[in-house]
Structure 1
Amino acid sequence: AQARLADATRMIRPIDYVVEDRLKNKIAEQQAIYQDVISSHAGTTAAVDAEFHLAMADFRLGDFDKALDAFAAFATAHPDHQFAAEARINEANCLFGKKDYEAAFAKFKTVADDASLDASSSRARADARRQAANCAAMLGDVDNARLMLEQMLEAAGQNENSATQLQSVIRRLEILPPLKEGIEALNNPPKPKQPALPDGLTFGPDSALNIPVNPPKLTPPEPGTDAADDTPDGAEETPEPAEEVETTPEVPAE
């Protein structure tokens, strides 16, 4: 049974790679179709729709910079299009994907505060408010994020689906402060402390330990000199002791 379990576990990664590759290939096929529609049917409704879907394809592939430019261009060129509000929200989603939470919060807030969207895209404003709260939480302003979500919860009223989603997000906020502190602790480990020394001893070039901060560099001896000769310049060398000669005492003649 354990062997079968191990075999099944090993199958997961290859399957994941196959699915990911197939998904990328499908999106690439979609991009080719969208680009063909844009170039072949310029000025038509289909071509405009294809511009939005092409930006969405870039977003799904994780190319946030390219998708951000495409969504911004679409929202500017077609402010009254049915996808205009979604394009503006996806601009902020791209910034969120780039982890630029401050810019994403500002973009979501702009959409959430746009009352003109109520007539055509009221859901867009609600989505933007919820995402703005997520950005506030990522920036560490958990209290403001909770307040925004609770206000949305009150506005949801009898909409059970929206209320359930908001309550779920509010519950997740409860784990963010300790999670954030844990991440900060991992990213900023404490600096190692110097070992304690006996009283009167300190580290540094002037310390009683006399440990230089920058030790002197050693230079090779000049050619023709004895590397082991450490006699200071100008000092007389100490003569070497005379070699002892063994002598035999003379024996007086008889």
Structure 2
Amino acid sequence: MSTVTQTALQSSYPPTLPKSFNANQPKTIRLYPLSNYTFGTKENQPEEDPSVIARLRRLEEHYSQYGMRRTCEGILVCHEHNHPHILMLQIANAFFKLPGDYLRAEDDEIEGFKNRLNERLAPVGNQFSGEGVNDEWQIGDTLAQWWRPNFETFMYPFIPAHITRPKECKKLYFIQLPRSKVLSVPKNMKLLAVPLFELYDNTARYGPQLSAIPHLLSRYNFEFVDEQGNVTAVTPGGDPGTRPSVKVLAGGDNDTNGAAGKDTNMSLA
């Protein structure tokens, strides 16, 4: 029997169907397309500290006065070509950072976090109007906690055994984006949409906290919705279609090639 005939016979065999793999399914999150959101810019927001040393010194002052510093950052997820993208800030074409910041000592955690998100991303004045301008942030699950054991740059996803008084705890929250929203970024920063595959196992470029986001989001299933509100793909399964890439949404010099192609391999702890 010829090879061609054997191949034809083999391809005619019925497929072996696997057993159901749907027990204890995780929560399903609906993701809306990047094109549903409006992006703009607002006045510069200079960094509080001119250097890493200055930032750690301010942390030490905060700790001596108020105790452990609380920091909240948001994982904002949308999709492009049916692949999840994370909205992320880039500072000085070098540092990547999630929206959010440390809480003031007197702040309630959730309300304080919403205020910090608004400082970074809410539109100002009459810049925009209509749907999505004043929508409140929907703070979802806590996806990770990172701990700073000492007055140094290293943070860990656990408290080392010999540490009894960590200096900072950073919580990463899942932010459920509505169907549409208006976001404005300070002019001295860029707002990027970074696909999950770009973050995965890419600590050299994004650092351990940001490169861990694909692992954190693997707990969810996703529904990908088009501009008309129709579900076009779901996970598990679905065809991602065109290969996505990092997109500059607002801020900076709007040089897409510069953001995606430059050697910007640091994250801001």
TM-score normalized with structure 1 length: 0.20
Name whichever structure is richer in strand by fraction: 2
Name whichever structure is richer in helix by fraction: 1
Relative contact order, higher structure (CA 8 A, sep 6+): 2
TM-score normalized with structure 2 length: 0.19
